[in-house]
Amino acid sequence: MSASIRRRAALALPSIWASLSPAALHAEQTPWSRYKQRFVTSSGRVVDTGNAGISHSEGQAWGMLLATIHDDRPTFERIFRWTRANLAIRGDRLLAWRFRPIGGVDDINSATDADIFHAWALLRADERWPGEGYRAMALAIAHDILRVSCRQIGGRTVLMPGAWGFDHGTHLVLNPSYYVFPALEALAAAHPHPAWPALIAEGERMLLEARYGRWSLPADWVMLRRRGGPIEPEPVRGDRFGDDAVRLPIYLAWSGRWQAPLMRQVDSFWTDPAHPYVPAWVTLSENRIAPYPASLGHAAILRLARLRVAVTESGQAAATDLGYYSSSLALLAAAAAAEGTDRGERRIAALRP
């Protein structure tokens, strides 16, 4: 990656959060401090404000990861303690995925992307604050991800989205956005096992094969049939490039895969001049766009995919909310821009003769 791209990525960081600066956002506050105030309780529960105030393993793991990125040990420990006390109840090292403010955990199934982020956050915490046993916990989680959530089908090594509920006999239901490339690479380095490179390769293969619709975009959910054949959109939840698949450019950039075709495809979709606004999602069977514009988090991902600063000045990508998910995506995109530039340069250098 060239020096000019590095400079553009650095410039993109403050711009990602420019639209998060209304009068109510005081100058002394950072995006991370604002995030904590809005979504992290004093006990360490990360609240999904757009989903009836629930908490889930994804949000807890993201909160822990973001705390390591921002060198915020007190917040990390607060979120970590709440997570261990309330979600680490399954009998293995994976987390129960959903906690309701009234009633507590009502579904102890796991969410594999959250478990991957959880292990990665612990590895990063051990690097920042060694001596607390975080690395040993991360390795135990990594072991159970492979034991519980890794499956062989038709010569492919795939990630099951959870411990159960996604194997339908004739086919598996998978989620491409669960292949969190930078985290998988970190786990492969810390916990050597042949399954990790196989999973990484499968994630890359899936993004090349599972492209649909006018803009050749991945689906939120896909099916892989046991008898073989192409990867297909899952008919109930998979006819969209939406809230799940939209995370993939973050993970590609974070791992240095800036040249992946998906980055150009996302750019082409969101900047199509035929759109009256930057759409939040598109149906892949009919190429029908959302009837409302993309959120702040989507705008941050678009900046990341383009490495451009002035994307929202026309108002097309106006933020429709400042909720938990949108704000989380924006912070993750900022981290990907900051950390993915060096990885991209190393990846390109490794390919040179």
Q: Is 115 a catalytic residue?
A: no
Task: Tell me how far CA of residue 293 lies from CA of 93, 163, 325, in angstroms.
Answer: 39, 35, 15
Backbone φ/ψ region at 241: left (φ over 0), alpha (ψ -120 to 50), beta: beta
At residue 87, the 3 state secondary structure works out as coil
Query: Can you say whether the dihedral through the CA atoms of 212, 213, 215, 221 is positive or negative?
Result: negative
C-alpha pair distances (Å), 169 with each of 166, 172, 242:
9, 7, 27
Among this protein's residues, is 234 annotated catalytic?
Answer: no
Catalytic residue among 72, 77, 92, 113: 113
Question: How far from 226 is each of 25, 44, 211, 223, CA to CA, in Å?
Answer: 52, 42, 20, 10
Choose among 248, 242, 238, 176: nearest CA to 205.
176
Residue 301 CA to residue 310 CA, distance in Å, equals 13
CB 164 within 8 A of CB 153: no
The residue type of 331 is L
| Signed CA dihedral, 316, 320, 322, 326: sign only | negative
Residues annotated catalytic, as ranges: 58, 113
